[in-house]
Structure 1
C-alpha cells in the first residue's frame, strides 16, 4: 500500500514555528489506497481544518542524476538554470502525474496590465514557469502578475486563479453584481458577455479602485458604460434593484473558512437569483466530508449542499460539476 506524506495547510496559531514554516506542518505519514484516502484520513484527524485542505504527496525515493560541470564552463544564463527544452521535459513528466490536462471551461481573456503601486497595494510582474491549475494539472505560465496588499497575496494570473473564475462568467446576465474588484479580471470578462445589461462592482477599499485605473485602461474596455463601481462593504451592502447574478470574491485565498458564512450573509442582503462564490467547489467537497460521503460526489449531493447553505449557486444543472469540484480539491490540496 502506498505511503503519503501529508501537510496541514492551516498555519499553527500563535507565534510558533508552524505559523510561517510549512515544513513544521509536514510529517504526517499515512498509508492509503490513494491520495484521496490519505486526504480523508487527515480530514478525520483534523476536521476543523478541512476548509484549508491538506497537501498530499506520495512518499517514495527519487532517482537523482548527478552531472559534473567543468569549472571552466560558464552558464549562459545564471538566473535560469533550466533550459527551455528541460522545462518542457519536466512539464511533460509532471503532467503525467495527474490526468486533468484540459480545463472544463473556456479560459478567461486577460486584459493588458502594467505594474503599479498605490497605498498599501502593489501589482508586480512575476515569473512562475511551472504551476498547477484549478481544474488542470501542471502547465507553464507566462506574463504573470500578482496583486498584493503589503505581504498578503490577493490575486494573480496563475492558472489556479484564472480557472477558478472561468465558469463565473458563463452565468452572468441582466443586472450582475461583483463583490471585490481586484485586478478587474472577472469584470473584463463579464463585460464581454452579451447577456449582461448592467454591472455593479462593490469594492471596500478605494485604494484598490485607484490602483485599478493605474494598472490597466478600463475606460477603453468593451461595454465600460455598463459599469458602476461603489465603495462599500460586501457584507452589508443592500441593492436598490433586483440582482440577477452575484459573484463574490472577497477572500485572499482559496478554501477560506469564511466563504460559507460570508456568502450566506451577503445573499441575505442581495437576494440574487443566482450566485457564484470564489472557491465554492472546495466548500462543497468539505460539506461532503462533513456528511461522511465518499467520492465520487454526485449532483444530488450538490443539490443537497445548495439547500443546506441556502444559496442558489451556479452549475446546479451540470452533471459533470461534482467531478470538477473533486478535481479542484485535488489540485488545491497539492498546490
Structure 2
C-alpha cells in the first residue's frame, strides 16, 4: 500500500502571484503537482507559481514556489538579522520573508535583470507585506558580483545561479562577501558544496566534518551554528539533489 502524500505547508510568507508574460520571462501557475523538497520527501503542492525564462527556443524554470525552492532558502530567511543584502530578486519571496523578521532592519535587493524587477513590481510582492516590513525593502538594478554596500551588511543572502550546484560558486560568494562586508552568509546550494567536499575528503557528514569543511570554505555561513541537525539536513538534501556523488562513505541510500 502506498503512503498518502503530505500536503506541503509552511509558516513562511508566500506571495500571491498571477499569470504574466513579458519579453523573456513568464509567470505560470499550476493548481496541483507532486514534487520533493530540498531535504523532504515528495509532497502534494497546490497553487504553485513558477518563473520561466525564455532564451530563444529554449525555456527553463528559473524559480518556483515548490518545496525544493522554499526549503533551499529558508535557513537564510529565518536567520537573517540587521542590514540584509539579497543578491538576486527571483520571485521576491526570500527578501520578503527576511523583511518580515523583527531582527532585520532593512533589506537591499540587487537584481541584474530589469524585467525581473518589473514582474515583481507588477505582482506587488512587497506591497503584500505589512507596511512596516514593506518599508524595509529597497530593490536596485545592479550586478551582484560588482555591487558594493554603502555600509557593512549583517547578512548576505545570495541566489543568482542555475543550476543548484556549480564549481565557481564558492569564489563568487566570497567576492560578494568581500564587496558587502557581510558578517554572516547564506547562499543557495551551500549544502551541496559541503556535501560534495565531504565526498572528496571521504568524510561522513557529522558535526565535526561540517565544522572542518565550513572553516576551509572561509565563509561565515549561516546554518552550522544555528541548527543542531544541520549535518542531517545536508545529508538529506544531498540524497535528493546530489545523487551522482552519493552516498557518502558509511551512508546507505534508503
Q: Comparing both structures, which one devotes a greater share of its residues to strand? A: 2
1:153-172 residue pairs with structure 2 within 5 A? 153-172=61-80
1:94-105 map, 5 Å:
none
Query: Where does residue 118 of structure 1 map in the other structure?
Result: 22
Within 5 Å, give how 1:1-335 maps onto structure 2. Answer: 90=2, 92=4, 107-150=11-54, 151-222=59-130, 223-293=133-203, 295=204, 297-317=205-225, 318-333=227-242
Distance in 1 separating the partners of 2:77 and 2:69: 14
Cα RMSD of the aligned pairs, angstroms, is 2.3
In structure 1, C-alpha distance between the alignment counterparts of 2:50 and 2:2, rounded to whole Å: 24
Tell whether the 8 Å contact from 1:236 to 1:269 is kept in structure 2 after alignment.
yes
Q: Offset of 1:106 from its aligned partner? A: 5.8
Shift of 1:142: 0.6
User: Secondary structure in 1 aligned to 2:100?
Assistant: coil
CA drift at 1:298: 1.7
CA shift, 1:232, in A, is 0.8
TM-score (normalised: structure 1)? 0.66
Residue 90 of structure 1 and its aligned partner are, at CA, apart by: 4.9
Higher-Rg structure is: 1
Equivalent residue, structure 2, for 1:5: none
Offset, 1:227 = 1.2
Alpha-carbon separation, structure 2, partners of 1:163 and 1:220: 21
Other structure's SS at 1:175 match: strand
Q: Between Structure 1 and Structure 2, how many residues are aligned?
A: 237
After the TM superposition, which segments of 4 or more aligned residues of structure 1 sit over 3 Å from their partners? none
CA distance in structure 2 between the partners assigned to 1:308 and 1:153 by the alignment = 33
Cα distance in 2, alignment partners of residues 161 and 91 from structure 1: 24
